[in-house]
Structure formats: C-alpha cells, structure tokens
Amino acid sequence: MSETKLQLVIEDIEARQEELISLTKKLIAYETPAPPARNTAEAQGFVENYLQEMNFAADRWDVYPNDPNVVGTKQGTDSAHFQSLIVNGHMDVAEVRPEENWEYAPFEAVEKDGRLIGRGAADMKGGLAASLFVLRLFHEHGIELPGDLIFQSVIGEEVGEAGTLQCCKKGYTADYAVVVDTSNLHIQGQGGVITGWVTIKDPNTYHDANRRQMIHAGGGMAQGASAIEKMVVMIESLQTLERHWAVSKHYPGYPPGTNTINPAVIEGGRHAAFIADECRLWITVHFYPDESYETVSREIEEHLLHAANADPWLRENPPHFTWGGESMIEERGEVFPAFEVDPLHGGTETLKQSYQEVLKETPVLDVSPTVTDGGWLAEAGIPTALFGPGELSEAHAVNESVAIQELLDFSKVMADFMYHWCHTKK
C-alpha cells in the first residue's frame, strides 16, 4: 500500500508542477542576499510554519540577529530500527548589486523558455522548495516513514556563516545527509576552502626619510624594513608552493592545479610619510576532498616560515597566521571542510538506485568544483552527499535560472530516495 502511495506522490509531482513552481517563486520573493545578510527571518518563518503544518517539530534560533536557522524533525514510526536522514539547504542567496543588468526584477521570479529566472533559483531556493514540496505530498498522501527525517533550512552559506555548523553543534545528526545545493543532479563530494591572514609587523616605526639608510650599503639600519616589501617574499613563496601542489597533488575528477592559493587582499602601511610597519595578506586556499583544512594550513605555515628563515630580516620578524573564521562579514574569515562521498555506503547506493529507477539513467558520481555546507555534516561524522538541481554556471549569475524539468526530476528522485532510505533497516 505504501509503495502505491509513493507512486502517487511521484505522479503528483508532475501533475501539480504549478504548485512546485509557485512555492519556488515564493521563496525567491523573500529578499535574502548575503551580503548584506541579517534578512532571512521572514523567509525562515515561512519554512517553520510550512513544516509545522506537516507535523514536524520545528526548532528555530538566531545564529545572528534576524538570521535564524530552522530545523524540522519528523520522528519515524520505528526510529530505533530504521535509517534516519538529514535534508539540508541554505536560505541565503548571492548578493545583487544595483548595476547588474537583470532582464527581470531578481526577486520576482519569471518563467521563460522552460526555466525559472530569479536570484536563488539555482543556488539554492529551487532545491529547498522542491524538498519542501515532496514533504507536503508525503503528508497529504499519509506516508509515515519508519526512520527519522530532519529538514534543515540554514543561513549564511554564501558568506561563510555556517548555519549548518551550528546545527551540528546543537547535536542534530542522522545516518545520512543530502545537501540539496547546486549539483546539476550529480551526486557529489567536494574539495574544501579556508581563508587565512598572513601578517608581517615591524616592532619599530620609521619616518620615510630613513628609507635610504635601510636599503643602501652602509646605511646602518638593517633592523628596519618595509613590511609591504617583505610581504612580496611571502607572496613569491606561496606561488612556489602553489606550483608544487599542482604537480605533486591530484584527485580524480579535478583538473591538475585545482588546489590553489589566492592572494586575494593586501593591506598595509600607515601613510606616505611612514615606512610600512605592518602588512596583512588575505589568502583563499582551495584543497582536495582527501585533505583537511588543518593539515593544509599547517603546510602553508611551515613553508612560509622556511622562506622567512632564509631572509635576514624576516628571520628575526617572522610572519604570524590567523586561519578561518565563522563569518566573512563579522570575522573576515571562513572555512568549508572537504568531504568524500562513499560510493559503497547504503545511503549513496539508495540514492543511486532511486535516480536509476525514476529517471531511467545512470547517475553521475563525481566532485563539485565549488564548496557547500556539506563538509560540516561530514566532519560531524555524518555520511554526506551533495545532490541538487541547478547548474553551477547559473549560481550567482545575473539572470540566474533553473530548468523547471530539473526541479521536477529532482523532486521525483528525492521522493523515492527519502521513502526508501527511511524504510531501510539499520
């Protein structure tokens, strides 16, 4: 009987696609760009009410003012013996600047040529809306799952404010997790990202008229240096390490050299009458799924300290390092842990089988070229996969869009997967 109900749900997804499109438009209409952030409360309130209408126990708390997480839990009928699932997505979307040339208002979604256009359509309100729509259909058809189902609508992913990390810290866990972010319906793992600050500081301060004595023979001020010029030594050393990584490290599915060290921002000096006594370099590091941000940052530190030791002034004034952070807005730093998808895990096998059964195609299992919150779930010990609608080329783009057929296909696969995974015995 329950399998019959599942088939009715899948048929309803096609027959009631206008409801799915309307729900996606509704979420897009909430203006939740980050930056500036602090603007998701109304949208999250809608999700909270939506979940409560389907008898989910809703937990809502502020991660930042006006930016709450919402977690809905539907306890299974036999939780002790059947597998549990987390479905995770973020409510914030990429920023929209006034000078961007949108064909339509970015928060008033429009259907055109089989696509839905609006900020967040691909990244990732389409995935959120489709997942919620499946839960609605389960509720309407009276489908009760034996395993627990946890739906997480989080904030801050676009600016490294890992709402998902806060869910993990609150103790939310499951036997498997699917992050329904942009993956073009590929089942994916991902590399990781960490930002860091390299700081060089002269303990002394000098008038710029002392520069001749610092750089010419017989000047007698070997103890002084420009922190900006010394940072050049660090940048060149980072480029050497980056090139070494490109030839010494690899991971299936990534082009060589995907692991990069980007000198993104440099700050330094007081004003033109001073020798620069401090310089700060903000770097962004991309690393592979089989690496951790702890080991990668330690490798960079060791390399730069060796380079500093070869410089007479830096040997006495070595660089200092600050890594990561929980907000690009509040702390100017972020971390996205990497994770690998275990192709032999039961959850992955079930997802692949659902894809095959529903779409009559073999799913693609590969790696994302970007990062998502999935790394935090994996780091918490939860086997995780990235699987969602939308092409990465559309994420953050002007006139961002998602194919309506892909929303439908995703919804059908997720309905089949949720049902069968939560009917799988532990």
Domain ranges of the chain: 2-190+339-421, 192-323
Query: According to the model, what pLDDT value does residue 221 have?
Result: 67
Q: Could you give the C-alpha distances from 188 to 160, 384, 394, 408, in angstroms and in order? A: 20, 9, 18, 20
Q: What is the pLDDT of residues 148-189, one digit of tens each?
A: 999 999 999 999 998 999 999 999 999 999 999 999 999 999
Whether the per-residue pLDDT at 1 is higher than 60: the answer is no
Percent with pLDDT over 90 in the chain: 93
Query: According to the model, what pLDDT value does residue 346 have?
Result: 98
Q: What is the pLDDT of residues 201-246, one digit of tens each?
A: 999 888 888 888 877 766 666 688 899 999 999 999 999 999 999 9
What predicted TM-score, i.e. pTM, was given to this entire model? 0.95
* Cis, peptide link before residue 418, omega less than 30° from 0: no
CA 123-47-341 angle, 5° bins: 45
Average pLDDT over residues 375-401: 98
C-alpha to C-alpha distance for 298 and 285, rounded to whole angstroms: 12
2-190+339-421: what CATH class? alpha beta
Average pLDDT over residues 318-338: 96
Q: What is the pLDDT of residues 252-307, one digit of tens each?
A: 999 999 999 999 999 999 999 999 999 999 999 999 999 999 999 999 999 999 99
Return the closest-CA partner of residue 183 out of 289, 89, 102.
89
Enumerate the active-site residues.
92, 157
Q: What is the pLDDT of residues 67-95, one digit of tens each?
A: 999 999 999 999 999 999 999 999 999 99
192-323 adopts what CATH topology?
Alpha-Beta Plaits (3.30.70)
